Amino acid sequence: MESLDSFLVQTFARNLKRLRSKAGMSQEELALKSGLDRTYVSGCERGVRNPSLVSVEKVASALGVRVEELFVGAS
Q: Kindly state the smallest distance separating residue 70's Cβ from DNA, in Å.
A: 13
Question: Pick from 7, 50, 68, 73: which binds DNA (CB under 7 A)?
Answer: 50
Binding residue (CB under 8 A) for its own copies from 3, 7, 26, 35: 7
Sign of CA dihedral 46, 52, 57, 62: negative
| d(C-alpha 34, C-alpha 30), whole Å | 6
Positions in the binding site for its own copies (CB under 8 A): 4, 6-9, 12, 50-54, 56-57, 60, 66-68, 71, 74-75
